[in-house]
Structure 1
């Protein structure tokens, strides 16, 4: 059975507002996730673009953004495949997964959790869905560690 959702979390020894900036500001996202660049319009309905030389450009659409608390977006499964504009359709679009970051203050730092869901509903063969789930699990684990290190070291 293919995993339908990937969940990872990390404790970041930095305040929530700093973690939010590192999570949603293109110059920071280029360091911890989209190494060849990104564009982010963090408003609901806004577009995202994440670029990697080896994978191409992946498009997304913001579903919800609550500063210092929640950042949710749909992310296309295929490179160079823009998502249709408009309000979020929840899960089950077949061409994208739902990625959600939840931030919460904990002690003097921030608990950051990422969930990617809707993997089983992708329009892919089961073997490709399983590979996506495996890749997503490893990618989010590494990305969260990079984001945490950057936020802990960042002072802007």
Structure 2
């Protein structure tokens, strides 16, 4: 059975407002996640695009953005495909931030993998790849936020 959700959590030694900036601004996202470029309108209904040389460009749409607290978006399941209104064409990615002592607790959830309109083998590959990618990305995000002062 393919997992329907991926959950990751990391404690970041940086204040929540700095983590929010690193999480939601293109110049930072290019460092910790979308290495070949990123375009983002972080307001609800705004669009986003993440680019990688090997994987292509993934489109998304922001569902909710509460500064210093929550960033949620739908992300197309396949590269170079516009995000439609069809169920099964995207997963839901959510970053929840909370202040914890002098730093920030960041919780990531990617859900909706079971609802993707693709064969189970493709769902399994997506879940495996996303789990590894998010783990690495959150490590990079944490390091960048802890070292960043802008």
TM-score bucket of the superposed structures, by smaller chain: over 0.9
Give, in whole Å, the separation in 1 of the partners of 2:148 and 2:84: 35
Deviation at 1:140, TM superposition (A): 0.4
Give, in whole Å, the separation in 1 of the partners of 2:36 and 2:106: 24
- The equivalent residue for 2:18 is 18
Give, in whole Å, the separation in 1 of the partners of 2:83 and 2:102: 38
Deviation at 1:84, TM superposition (A): 3.1
C-alpha RMSD over aligned residues: 1.0
- The equivalent residue for 1:96 is 90
- The equivalent residue for 1:60 is 60
Query: Can you list the C-alpha shifts for 1:29-71, whole angstroms capped at 9, x where unaligned?
Result: 0000000000010010000000000010000000000000000
Unaligned runs of 5+ in 1: 86-91
Aligned pair count reads: 150
TM-score normalised by the chain length of structure 1: 0.94
Give, in whole Å, the separation in 2 of the partners of 1:128 and 1:55: 15
Are 2:137 and 1:143 aligned? yes
- The equivalent residue for 1:88 is none
Give, in whole Å, the separation in 1 of the partners of 2:59 and 2:82: 5
- The equivalent residue for 2:39 is 39
Deviation at 1:93, TM superposition (A): 1.7
2:102 pairs with 100, 105, 108, which one? 108
Unaligned runs of 5+ in 2: none
TM-score normalised by the chain length of structure 2: 0.98
Give, in whole Å, the separation in 2 of the partners of 1:124 and 1:7: 21
- The equivalent residue for 2:120 is 126
